[in-house]
Amino acid sequence: MESVASFALLLAFVLTLYAFAASVLGAMRRKELLQYSSYRATAAVCALVTVAIGCLAYALLTDDFRIAYVAGHSNRALPWYYKITALWSGQEGSLLFWSWLLSAYGMLAVWLNREKHRAMMPYVVATLAFVQGFFLTLNVFIANPFQLFAMNVGGQMVVRGPLDGNGLNPLLQYPAMAIHPPLLYLGYVGFTVPFAFALATLLTQQAGEKWLVTTRRWTMVAWLFLTMGVILGARWAYAVLGWGGYWGWDPVENASLMPWLTGTAFLHSVMMQEKRGMMKVWNMVLIFSTFLLCIFGTFLTRSGVVSSVHAFAQSAIGPFFVTFLGISILFCGWLILERLDYLKSHQQLDSLVSRESSFLFNNLLLLAACFSVLWGTLFPVISEAVQGVKISVGAPFFNKVNIPIGLLLLFLTGVGPLFAWRKSSLGSLRRNFLMPGIVSLAIGAALFALGVRQLYPQISFILCAFVALTVFMEFYRGARVIRQKSGGSLLVAAVTLTQRNTRRYGGYIVHFGIVLMFIGFTGTAFNTTHEQEMRVGDQMEIGRYRLKLLELTETDNPNYGSAHAVLALYQGEKQLSVLRPERRLYKASRQPTTEVAIRPRLNEDIYIVYAGMSEEGGAVITAHINPLVNWIWIGGLIVVLGTIVALFPSRPGAGTIRGKGRTVVLEEQTEANHKDEVLAQENA
């Protein structure tokens, strides 16, 4: 089986080289046959890599410990679903997983666009094949997951695996971890497609902005997956790492945040190009940066250049990534400079108080946040290179630098959509800002009176209220007009409104989700922690709660042995629940872990960690009260929902409620189109 898989990978590598050569030659010599041949090669590569990854999954499920990767990352007692997740838990497997996702994305991109973007597609295929070729080089020659175990038996080397494997890293044995890496990878890899389209656009100097719609949609898909991956990663850290938080500014966490920030900047600034034909160079820079940051993130995770608790798979493949990154940066930079004339656009601003200005500042803040994260992540390496002393950069640095930037971004999230394109009149500003401003300031005053005295939380809550109100206003105003025309309830009118412009109102839903997430982030300022050594019957006070240790128990299964602390949670004399934090010792890897017990509520989580046994024989219990933290996960879900809404095509004709109003809507649409034509003529 391993021979079939290795051969499939080798053949995939050869076909990738062919796809690259055929697409480039086909485009240069205008040979359609060669071009179509390269498209089919892309599909064949996908099929072959699928065979290879299928073989690895089969080997993991059947405990084929002759294969070194299986022996290193799985064991017999591991549940079958975690055996599947072992696919991406190690270096070789995760690189193969990357290759597989890329081949699937590549095939899908070719299949969906081969007729729509005929001139560009050969270059899209060439770019995808170039990236695919890099990863298949790693799969075949550097980090092959199908290497066999050879043992010395009686002086002769024979292929024979150990009786049992080392097991999966215990930190990865958590349900969210089964889907977090694939989602993150779907995000990382997904950005290759818009990168390929952008590169092909520059190479072929496409007329018009049709390619931009395709690129934007692919970017949104990748951004959606990356968002889900990042949020699930935070949830995993919260539930598994057991330190009470969800984001430790670890280099690998930072690596996933950076392309998210530049991708977000692109999704905003691309509107400037679509709507006004502006910022063409900048958009190219953003889409290239996003892709390169994805590769850089993988490099950080894999190379061991920075130490990280998340870097599950490390080896000496760093130089290959550095070379690939170097070539890509040089080529992209050269191409942008070479095509500056093509990217020249009409840059005219009617007013400084406009949507255009707000997008520019939005991009500035997102990029500043990205730079500060990159700088902080690399500073230990830079400081060691410059002065020979390694300087640590931990969470306090990132919080100090990024919280002000984040709050400014939140402010723009509320302000930006209220500005009109081209120019905002003083009247509309007053109308849009006055009420949300007054209400949010009143909420701030009330919170101050209630004891919220810290500066950043105060500002954050005020801004959250402000942005939420502006989003609400946007829906309310639009829905009210539709209801007047078509009847029905306000809720139905809001749905109709959203259907008519999914991108705009999906975006507002995303903004609302971000607000909820900021509410959750702000809750961190009010976290409470208490640690106490407890014996059975002892009690611990934390905040308005009381914990009583009822018993200490032990259980065992083939995968791990565990010790539980059973605690009753009281508020006053009322027992609220029984919590069972746990310590596990995984047998195969001999690694201990903590399994926290959480009592989740919308206002706060009670988060209990059984830290271990003290020398005196007492159980060390750490209790955290984490206010508002669940709003992060709820907000995350809403962000995902909003992005899905924005991905659906708009239905400008939507709004016929119970058969009424169809004519009215169609008339409105015709009028609107006419108005646009007049505006375009005026501009010209």
Partner 1 sequence: MKYWPRKMLRKAGLLLVLLALVYQGWAQNPAELPGDEATFRRVSNRLLCQCGCNYMVLSCNHLDCSSATYIRNTIRASLAEGMTEDAIVASFVEEYGPKILPEPPRQGFSWMAWIMPFAALVLGGGAVSYVLWLWKWKPAEDNAGVTPAESAQPTPEHDASSALVEKYRAQIDEELEKE
Contacts to partner 1 from residues 452-491, by CB under 8 A = 453, 473, 476-478, 480-482
Rounded-to-integer distance, Cα 662 and Cα 656, Å: 5
Q: How many residues does the chain have?
A: 684
CA torsion, points 215, 216, 217, 218, in degrees to nearest 10?
50
Nearest approach in angstroms of CB 123 to partner 1 is 21
Binders of partner 1 among 642-671, rule CB under 8 A? 649-650, 652, 668-669, 671
Identify the helix (H) or strand (E) that includes residue 518.
Answer: helix 502-523
- Exactly one of 47, 119, 364, 634 binds partner 1 (CB under 8 A); that residue is 364
- Binding segment for partner 1 among 64-72, 128-136, 182-190, 372-380 (CB under 8 A)? 372-380
Q: Which is nearer to partner 1, 14 or 360 (CB)?
A: 360
Angle 630-647/502-523 helices, nearest 10 degrees? Answer: 170
Nearest approach in angstroms of CB 431 to partner 1 is 7
Question: Considering just the CA atoms, what is the radius of gyration of the chain in Å?
Answer: 28
- Exactly one of 106, 167, 248, 636 binds partner 1 (CB under 8 A); that residue is 248
Q: Which is nearer to partner 1, 118 or 480 (CB)?
A: 480
How many residues at the interface with partner 1, by CB under 8 A?
A: 110
Q: Are strands 574-579 and 545-556 parallel, antiparallel or unpaired?
A: unpaired
Binders of partner 1 among 513-572, rule CB under 8 A? 526, 528-529, 543
Q: Is 314 in the site for partner 1 (CB under 8 A)?
A: no
78 and 587 Cβ atoms separated by less than 8 Å: no
Q: Is 581 in the site for partner 1 (CB under 8 A)?
A: no
Q: Which is nearer to partner 1, 7 or 456 (CB)?
A: 456
How far is residue 221 from each of residues 183, 283, 562, 632, measured CA to CA in Å?
Answer: 11, 17, 41, 21
- Binding segment for partner 1 among 64-72, 86-94, 356-364, 633-641 (CB under 8 A)? 356-364
- Binding segment for partner 1 among 20-28, 168-176, 328-336, 496-504 (CB under 8 A)? 496-504
Q: Is 116 in the site for partner 1 (CB under 8 A)?
A: no
Token readout for 205 is 């100097």
- Exactly one of 50, 501, 589, 656 binds partner 1 (CB under 8 A); that residue is 501
Contact letters for partner 1, residues 268-307 (x by CB under 8 A): ------xxxxx----------------------------x
SS3 94: helix
Contact letters for partner 1, residues 617-636 (x by CB under 8 A): -----x--------------
Q: Is 342 in the site for partner 1 (CB under 8 A)?
A: no
Q: Which is nearer to partner 1, 157 or 449 (CB)?
A: 449
Query: CB-based burial of residue 337 (10 Å sphere; 0-12 exposed, 13-18 middle, 19+ buried)?
Result: exposed
Q: Are strands 582-586 and 591-595 parallel, antiparallel or unpaired?
A: antiparallel
Rounded-to-integer distance, Cα 261 and Cα 134, Å: 25
- Exactly one of 333, 612, 648, 662 binds partner 1 (CB under 8 A); that residue is 612
Q: Which is nearer to partner 1, 278 or 459 (CB)?
A: 278
Q: Is the dihedral of CA 392, 394, 396, 400 positive or negative?
A: positive
Q: Which is nearer to partner 1, 557 or 614 (CB)?
A: 614
Rounded-to-integer distance, Cα 684 and Cα 673, Å: 16
Q: Which is nearer to partner 1, 70 or 401 (CB)?
A: 401
In the block, which residue shows the tokens 């977090």? 180
**What is 241-302 written as a DSSP string?**
I-SS-S----HHHHHHHHHHHHHHHHHHHHHHHHHH---HHHHHHHHHHHHHHHHHHHHHHH
Nearest approach in angstroms of CB 652 to partner 1 is 4
Q: Find how far residue 143's CA is from the centre of its chain.
A: 26
Binders of partner 1 among 179-238, rule CB under 8 A? 208-210, 212-213
Contact letters for partner 1, residues 410-429 (x by CB under 8 A): ----------x-------x-
Identify the helix (H) or strand (E) that includes residue 178.
Answer: helix 175-190
- Exactly one of 152, 156, 392, 663 binds partner 1 (CB under 8 A); that residue is 392
Rounded-to-integer distance, Cα 281 and Cα 288, Å: 11
SS3 474: helix
623 and 529 Cβ atoms separated by less than 8 Å: yes
- Binding segment for partner 1 among 92-100, 162-170, 188-196, 247-255 (CB under 8 A)? 247-255
**What is 342-366 written as a DSSP string?**
TT------S-SSSHHHHHHHHHHHH
Q: Which is nearer to partner 1, 159 or 309 (CB)?
A: 309
Nearest approach in angstroms of CB 489 to partner 1 is 16
Q: Is 445 in the site for partner 1 (CB under 8 A)?
A: yes
Nearest approach in angstroms of CB 92 to partner 1 is 23
- Binding segment for partner 1 among 56-64, 147-155, 171-179, 365-373 (CB under 8 A)? 365-373
Rounded-to-integer distance, Cα 129 and Cα 586, Å: 41
Nearest approach in angstroms of CB 650 to partner 1 is 5
Q: Is 346 in the site for partner 1 (CB under 8 A)?
A: yes
